[in-house]
A = this chain, B = another copy of it.
Amino acid sequence: MTDFALWTRAIQARTEVVLTRTLPATSLEPRRLHEAMRYVALGGGKRVRPMLAFAAAEAIGADNALTEAAAGAVELVHVYSLTHDDLPCMDDDDLRRGKPTCHVQYDQATALLVGDALQSAAFEVLAEAGAGAEMIALLARAAGSRGMCGGQAVDIASTGKPLDLAELEFMHIHKTGALIRAAVLLGASSSGTLADPQRAALEHYAKCVGLAFQVMDDVLDAESDTATLGKTAGKDAQQGKATYLTLMSIKEARDYAREQVSDALIAIAPFGELGRRLGEIARFIVERQF
């Protein structure tokens, strides 16, 4: 196993610990809600956002308890958005992270409340670790209508409509990019105060990584099978969604993702060896199979 693979295992394990500690025990009422929250949040996912948070903390100094909270918070926002996104009134999906989606395993009302409560839990874990108002506001903006929720709204509205590259990027910069940016900036802020050039470098890195991630998601959705992805493959085309592959070939899409990763690596060059994990994550994103 490579050094990077060992590191990702360690981050996944630390993320699992934070989430396990943050989410209420299933012995507490309402038990079914707490069981469902744990069902969607624990034991699955690549944990790319926590990886980014920990790696960004390393780029600035060292990670710490606030980094763990930041990693947990962004993952909780991500998991809440998946839970709501899978509901019948949104993407109507049955499979997520290799298991039945929350509304299939439980029911729609529970899935709705699970997502709502996970969003609250994200702010709770961050605030309880002593995050300042600036970090809280950063997460709130990333999650809200000018961030992730706004991207989802554009995604829903544009289903079945042709988008050009600029419109597609607007959607993804919000839908996926905003939370990836928050993961990087919250991780970095947890480790120390950011100088303006550091912040600018990390923002550029996050933007490129976010786009590369989304392009590869589209490629994998088209190329891979459901068992490998752990979610329904070919769903985008089936739902008439605009993806990068409606605008470019798979080869062009892979090349575009690689260009983004090159840009990301250039952006973090000033961090030198401290930015090593950030670089490895960027490369992992274009090489991943799921």
Contacts and interface: CB of A to CB of B under 8 A. Distances in A.
A136 interface: yes
A220 interface: no
Contacts of A29: 150, 154, 170
Contacts of A126: 136
Contacts of A30: 145, 150, 153-154, 157
A138 to B, nearest CB: 8
A124 B140 CA distance: 5
Contacts of A115: 116
A164 to B, nearest CB: 15
Interface residues of A, number: 55
Contacts of A123: 123, 136-137, 139-140
Contacts of A107: 89
11 contacts: A30-B150, A32-B153, A84-B116, A87-B89, A113-B145, A115-B116, A117-B150, A119-B119, A123-B136, A127-B134, A131-B133
